[in-house]
Structure 1
Amino acid sequence: MTKSRSVVHATFTLKRTYPASRRDVFDAFANVSKKSKWAYGAPEGAHKLDFRAGGHETVEMPGPGGGTFKYEGVYHEIVAGERIIYSYTFDMGRGPAGVTMTTVELADAEGGGTHLKFTEQGAYLDGFDGPKFWESGTTSLLDRLGQTLAD
């Protein structure tokens, strides 16, 4: 039987204001031990980060419902304290589930702190409920970032 193929394209933007400096928010993305704490909850050694333009980020760990979750990202542009642009592929244990491009923008928030704008453009593959699933997951991820910055 031939596998049904499909692609769903979607874009979502999430905004947060954190009571932390742009330097601290940027560092939470750039530092592997800090990012591992809020981003993945991955076991020791499962998350690797080479945070520079052309650098790679990978995560491989047990996935939801069995199988192995794999994330492979490439950083395209990094402007310290201002902008991070990267693309990534992900596999939820059943083969490629999607390809995305993400832009993280940081700006000073009125009254102090940092305003973050997170925009993701994705191609979600072969029936994977990517747009809803990934936006929900990213919402939780940014909430965890906020909790980590508040600690």
Structure 2
Amino acid sequence: MTATDLTETYSSVTITRPIGAAPERVWRAFGEPAEFASWFTAPGDEVAMSFGEHDLSVGGRIEQTADFHGGPLSRFVARVTDVVPGRRIAYAYDMWLDDRHMSTSVTVITLADNGSGTELTWVEQGAHVDGIDTPEQREAGTVGLIGQLAHHCAAGA
């Protein structure tokens, strides 16, 4: 890769969605490693997920690897920067595809009681490098994760 091949694309997205479960229930889906692993995953049978560290405290790490059968290996490594239990989590994370760094992002997720469940707000700012992924792909993936979270919490798992 030459210097002329290097690119950076910046993004900022805010996604707000009601979830039909109490904020305490949604928080548990983030905080308990087994619950987190059940929804924070790529959909389908074409991927084998593995989780490393899951420390939801300031300075803690969250690690995940997705092995797409017959395809690339994706890695997610986050460092938790702020936690208000039951209300807010913030983290900075990097993603790689095989051994190529694809992005660095900052995410803040807030939970609020909306009277019938939870109002989740997911704000993410990212720098996507060298055309490996795009802001549109990341936003679509995040929307999918939030949908899986909502389904997981509604199922009462």
Q: Distance in 2 between matches of 1:78 and 1:31?
A: 14
Residues 1-151 of structure 1: matches in 2 within 5 Å? Answer: 2=2, 4-40=5-41, 43=48, 45-63=50-68, 66-109=71-114, 111-151=115-155
TM-score normalised to structure 1 length = 0.91
Cα distance, 1:68 vs structure 2? 1.3
**Paired residues of 1:63 and 1:92 also in contact (CA < 8 A):** no
Evaluate the alpha carbon distance shift between residue 67 and residue 25 of structure 1 in structure 2; reply closer, same or farther with a 3 A threshold: same
Q: Distance in 1 between matches of 2:126 and 2:50?
A: 27
TM-score normalised to structure 2 length = 0.88
Give secondary structure in 2 for the equivalent of 1:144: helix
Q: Distance in 2 between matches of 1:44 and 1:10?
A: 26
Cα distance, 1:46 vs structure 2? 3.1
Give secondary structure in 2 for the equivalent of 1:46: strand
Give secondary structure in 2 for the equivalent of 1:81: coil
Structure 1, unaligned runs of 5 or more:
none
**Runs of 4+ deviating beyond 6 Å:** none
- CA-to-aligned-CA distance 1:55-95 (integer Å, 9 cap, x gap): 00111231476121111100000001111000100012250
Letter in 1 for 2:77: E
Q: Distance in 2 between matches of 1:88 and 1:133?
A: 16
Q: Distance in 1 between matches of 2:39 and 2:51?
A: 14
**Paired residues of 1:86 and 1:101 also in contact (CA < 8 A):** yes
Letter in 1 for 2:79: V
Letter in 2 for 1:124: H
Q: Distance in 2 between matches of 1:76 and 1:67?
A: 29
**Paired residues of 1:12 and 1:121 also in contact (CA < 8 A):** yes
Letter in 1 for 2:15: L
- RMSD (Å), alpha carbons: 1.8
Cα distance, 1:127 vs structure 2? 1.1
Q: Distance in 2 between matches of 1:38 and 1:129?
A: 22
